[in-house]
Amino acid sequence: MGRMTVGDIFSRLAARGADRESLWREADAVRRRTVGDTVHLRALLEFSNRCVQDCLYCGLRRSRKDLLRYAMQPAAVVRTAVAAARAGFATVILQSGEDPAYDQETLGDIIRRIKAAAPDVQVTLSVGERPFADYRAWRRAGAERYLLKHETADPVLYARLRPGHRLSGRLKRARWLSELGYAVGLGNMVGLPGQGPAALVADLELLAEFEPEMVASGPFLPHPATPLRDAPAGDPYLVLNFIALARLILPRAAIPATTALATALPGGRELALAAGADVVMVNVGPGALRSLYEIYPLRDDGSSLRPDRFAAGSGARSGARSGAQPGERSGERAGEPPEESLAALRARVAAWLAELGRTADGTPGRAAASGAGLAPQVGAEAGASPP
């Protein structure tokens, strides 16, 4: 890990007061020198909250029965992603629980349709552990990036928190993704029950060895509907120190100011941007669905940054209770974010960043530039029947 010894890492992770400020300043200087003042806005679309896995820490785990499940229609996913691209977002992240209904063909078709309508937008996937053939098909369909957070580099803790899974299997998939030419994102949770400082050092050692293009770190936040409900939350300041160290170890990595950090600490996004982060996720999904993507409670999904003009309706239907699968009927447009709303949202985030002395990537967006209300369209595919 460069010039830092393991002892240095331990002490800098625990830094407080003036030492902490010094660490953040150092990381901020490296960030400015290597990746500059541009903040990359990622349009985040959480298209399904269904999941076949049962991770102990997660509010989407399959054992949870009190959560209304949803899955956006493929056509609605495409329309929303394309609307975000036309509103000026350079990257869209398609994120879900592990939902087998979005199989190789369905998700591949979604990616192809997005790239056909918005060739310049970068497509990032965050849909969990899948077979190699799925990853290969989606790469060929045009996806460029994949987020596969490793959660913790402690193999014993990992196996305890993710029943039936092993860290080695996760990292094997991360290597597949890298071999397929994806830009790969790893990431961890800080403050997991049973996670000591050595496990966080192991996270940093893993980052140094793997050299992912992206690193997402956030605090563990206990969800009352999970087995970890009584565990204390992770320390957001420890997350900030971790982010700063990740920047020192991987000077050119994309490092988000995570939603979990903003949830745990008012002003957490701003502090992360001052401690080495250079990415902000902006949730562009239909307003009625955002609260259902409840991986932890009281999530700050960035709603305070957005003009919420499309909160009513969903553009989707609840799925798990009805057993519905994606593609059973054509997507509904009620509640989908219109392009001009997303352009206004992007402009608002850009203005907030300007106040911090930073610049948003992407373009202002056609709707914002013209002031016209543009209806979201996906060309000939707008009225297509889902697969």
Q: Is 58 in the site for ligand SF4 (CB under 6 A)?
A: yes
Q: Is 93 in the site for ligand SF4 (CB under 6 A)?
A: no
Shortest distance, CB of residue 198 to ligand SF4, whole angstroms?
23
Where does this chain touch ligand SF4 (CB under 6 A) — which range of 21-29, 48-56, 333-341, 359-367? 48-56
Q: Is 125 in the site for ligand SF4 (CB under 6 A)?
A: no
Which listed residue (27, 51, 71, 82) binds ligand SF4 by CB under 6 A? 51
| Cα gap 373→354, rounded to integer Å | 25
Shortest distance, CB of residue 143 to ligand SF4, whole angstroms?
18
Q: Is 187 in the site for ligand SF4 (CB under 6 A)?
A: no
Q: Is 350 in the site for ligand SF4 (CB under 6 A)?
A: no
Instruction: Look at residue 342 and give its three-state secondary structure.
Output: helix
How far from 177 is each of 100, 136, 262, 380, CA to CA, in Å? 19, 8, 29, 32
| Cα gap 360→110, rounded to integer Å | 27
Sign of torsion over alpha carbons 116, 122, 125, 131: positive
Torsion of CA 76, 82, 85, 90, to 10 degrees: 80
Q: Is 271 in the site for ligand SF4 (CB under 6 A)?
A: no
Q: Is 147 in the site for ligand SF4 (CB under 6 A)?
A: no
Binders of ligand SF4 among 275-334, rule CB under 6 A? Answer: 295
Which listed residue (60, 184, 250, 343) binds ligand SF4 by CB under 6 A? 60
Q: Is 185 in the site for ligand SF4 (CB under 6 A)?
A: no
Which listed residue (74, 108, 128, 185) binds ligand SF4 by CB under 6 A? 128
What sections of 14-154 are H helices per DSSP? Answer: 17-34, 74-86, 104-117, 132-141
Q: Is 53 in the site for ligand SF4 (CB under 6 A)?
A: yes
Nearest to residue 121, comparing CAs of 88, 85, 146? 85
Nearest to residue 205, comparing CAs of 243, 153, 254? 153
Give residue 192's Cα distance to chain centre. Answer: 19
Binding site for ligand SF4 (CB under 6 A): 51, 53, 55, 58, 60-61, 97-98, 128, 295
